């Protein structure tokens, strides 16, 4: 079993060009489990753990405003420890804190979470609502794709065999006043999301100026619902408005039944979770 441990990006790209059959391993928390379950010894593996440049998290200014660039091999623990992520991308920070458990977070990477492309991936809904883009590199050159164009289906991405995901660029949300993340799992840690809702709302003088919503685990990929967002725009955070948006959301999702929950449950709760945003006495929305 050939195992490569490149130490920089150009070496990584060269290996991938020479070994198109190779699989890329970052933290291995998904890949190794699947290889073990399949009872196979892995083929060629290119490991990213020694490519330091892929592990950086940095704030940057782009033409459209401030952003955060996260290297693909940054671990979930790196996200949690990063002041930049905590202050500028609170949703991603919340998603990271709901991710598996500390030992897994120490190994698992954001790039791995994106490339595994599970509909239940904890970081994906946050990346979707923040309009993040992924950076891909190969010896042929680099390209940038918006998240929804990169993840094309459950376990499917637009990554070419000679390409590696090098990082994700996340524009810092500016006008949004409510950052809400809720993951429904069978337990409070080491849980695969049964349904999750990630929401950003810009509320001004009690009215919703803008809304971005994304659901996990209720479709083949992350589900957005422009109809529900449109219902919320311009209205107040009332149970009536949210209930109407919830109906739209239940129409938009396409969940399956599995060992964790039924499709009906997922559909129902995908809508219900919106009600949590209601501006009710005794509770601050988004908290």
Partner 1 sequence: MQDIGRRSRRFDALDKARGTEQFATDIYPPDMLWAGALRAGVPHGIIRRIETARAEKVEGVVAVLTRKDVPGTNRQGFVYWDMPVLCGTRVRHAGDAVALVLAESRRALAEALRAIEMEIEPLPVVDTLDAALADDAPNIHGLDTGNVLKAATIAKGDAEAGLAECDVVVEETFYTPAQEHAFIETENGVARIDDDGTLHMTVSTQAPFRDRFEIGRALGLDPSRIHVTGPYLGGGFGGKDGATVQCLLALAAMHAKGRPVKMWWNREESMLAGYKRHAARMRFTAGAKRDGTLHAVRCELDYDTGAYAHLGVEIMALGMEHSGGPYRLPHLEAKGRCVYTNNPVAGAFRGFGVAQVSFAFEGMMDRLAHALGMDPLKFRLRNAITRGERNCAGVTMTTSTGMEECLLRLRDHPHWKSREAWRADAPPFTRRAVGVAAVFNGMGYGRGLADYAVAKVRLTGSGRIRVYNGVSDMGQGNASTFVQMAGEILCQPESVMELVQPDTDRTHPSGSAAAGRTTYTYGKALIKACETLRDKLFNRAALMLFVDDGSGFAMIPGGVRHLPTGRDLPLAALAAMMHPDDRISMAEHLMPVTPEPVRGGEAFTLGFPHLLFPYAAHLARIEVDELTGRVAVLDYVAFTDGGRVLNPQNFEQQVHGSVAQGLGYALTEDVLTEAGVLRSTDLCTYVIPTSLDLPDIESHAVETIEHTGPFGMKGIGEVGLNGPLPAVASALYSAGLPMTRAPFTFGRVLAALEDDQPGTGSEAAS
Binding to partner 1 (CB under 8 A): which residues in 166-195? 184, 186-192, 194-195
- In 27-95, the DSSP E strands lie at 45-47, 57-62, 65-71
Q: How far is the CB of 155 from partner 1 (least distance, A)?
A: 16
Cβ atoms within 10 Å of 100's Cβ, excluding its own: 18
The pair phi, psi for residue 102, each rounded to 5°, is -50, -45
Is there binding between residue 246 and partner 1 (CB under 8 A)? Answer: yes
| 118 to 157: interface string for partner 1, x by CB under 8 A | ----------------------------------------
How many residues appear in the chain?
287
Asked whether the beta carbons of 194 and 265 are under 8 A apart, the reply is yes
Q: Which stretch binds partner 1 (CB under 8 A): 6-14, 63-71, 213-221, 261-269?
A: 261-269
Strands, sheet with 23-25, edge to edge from the N-terminal-most edge strand: 3-4, 45-47, 23-25
Is there binding between residue 106 and partner 1 (CB under 8 A)? Answer: no
Is there binding between residue 3 and partner 1 (CB under 8 A)? Answer: no
Q: How far is the CB of 9 from partner 1 (least distance, A)?
A: 33
Q: How far is CA 165 from CA 11, 93, 260, 265, in A?
A: 14, 21, 30, 34
Q: Which of 3, 60, 101, 142 binds partner 1 (CB under 8 A)?
A: 101
Q: How far is the CB of 264 from partner 1 (least distance, A)?
A: 8
Asked whether the beta carbons of 286 and 179 are under 8 A apart, the reply is yes
Residues 110 and 124: their CA atoms lie apart, in Å, by 9
Q: Where along the sequence are the contacts to partner 1 (CB under 8 A)?
A: 39, 101, 184, 186-192, 194-195, 243, 246-247, 259-262, 265, 268-269, 271-273, 275-276, 278, 280-283
């Amino acid at each position: 079993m050939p195992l490569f441990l490149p130490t920089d990006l150009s070496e990584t790209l060269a290996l991938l060009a020479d070994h198109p059959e190779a699989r890329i391993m970052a933290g291995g928390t998904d890949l190794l489990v699947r290889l073990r379950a399949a009872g196979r010894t892995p083929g060629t593996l290119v490991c990213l753990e020694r490519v330091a440049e892929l592990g950086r998290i940095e704030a940057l200014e782009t033409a459209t405003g401030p952003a955060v660039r996260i290297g693909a091999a940054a671990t979930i623990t790196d996200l949690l420890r990063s002041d930049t992520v905590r202050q500028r991308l609170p949703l991603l920070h919340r998603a990271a804190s709901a991710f598996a458990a500390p030992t897994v977070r120490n190994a698992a990477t954001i790039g791995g979470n994106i490339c595994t492309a599970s509909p239940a991936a904890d970081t994906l809904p946050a990346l979707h609502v923040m309009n993040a883009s992924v950076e891909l590199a190969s010896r042929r050159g680099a390209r940038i794709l918006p998240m929804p164009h990169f993840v094309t289906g459950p376990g499917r991405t637009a990554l070419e065999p000679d390409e590696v995901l090098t990082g994700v660029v996340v524009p810092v949300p500016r006008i949004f006043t409510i950052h809400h993340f809720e993951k429904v799992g069978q337990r409070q840690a080491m849980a695969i999301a049964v349904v999750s809702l990630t929401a950003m709302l810009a509320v001004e003088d009690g009215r919703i100026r803008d809304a971005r919503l994304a659901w996990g685990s209720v479709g083949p990929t992350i589900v957005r619902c422009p109809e529900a967002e449109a219902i919320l725009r311009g209205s107040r955070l009332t149970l009536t408005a949210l209930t109407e948006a919830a109906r739209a959301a239940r129409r938009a999702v396409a969940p399956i039944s599995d060992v964790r929950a039924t499709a009906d449950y997922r559909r129902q709760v995908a809508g219900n979770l919106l009600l949590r945003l209601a501006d009710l006495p005794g509770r601050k929305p988004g908290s």
